[in-house]
Amino acid sequence: MPTMIFVNLAVDDVARSRTFYEALGYSINEGFSDENAVSVVISDTITAMLLTRAFFAEFTRKTIIDATTSTEVQLALSAESKEEVDAVHAAALAAGATPAGEQDHGFMYSKSFDDLDGHHWDFVWMDPAAAAGGAPELSVDEMRAGTTVA
């Protein structure tokens, strides 16, 4: 069985978050969803568990950050095409996300957004030849030249 990842994120409103991620085309695993959490199935191996802040706090002794003012993680998912990147990004913005930048380096293309609770998501397409053989050598300045941060 392939390794799975369950990304747990604190949210302010489970119902609102559910509606947002359904608008992006993701399904919900009802068996792990209730008033405290929604289980968003991103792929066969990736699930986002969106938990109320109170429920999330039951699993940690650490302070839960406010993702609208602090960065906890940048979540990056691959896409099959540039068109898929554009479609997911457009759906996210239509559902209330905030644009958070984009990159176009020819071999790699991405668009980013912050979801309703400020969690940062990147959707990335990479040319299959570049993915198989490694990215072209670019300086930091060349990478920055193709990057826009919203």
What integer pLDDT is reported at residue 128 of this predicted model?
A: 84
Longest distance between any two alpha carbons in the chain, whole Å: 48
The pTM score is 0.84
The pLDDT, as a whole number, for residue 105 is: 86
Helices (H) and strands (E) in the chain, counts: 5, 9
pLDDT, block means (10 residues), the chain with 150 residues? 93 98 98 97 97 96 93 91 97 98 92 96 90 65 64
Domains of the chain and CATH, by start? 1-60 (3.10.180.10), 69-149 (3.10.180.10)
State residue 72's pLDDT score: 79
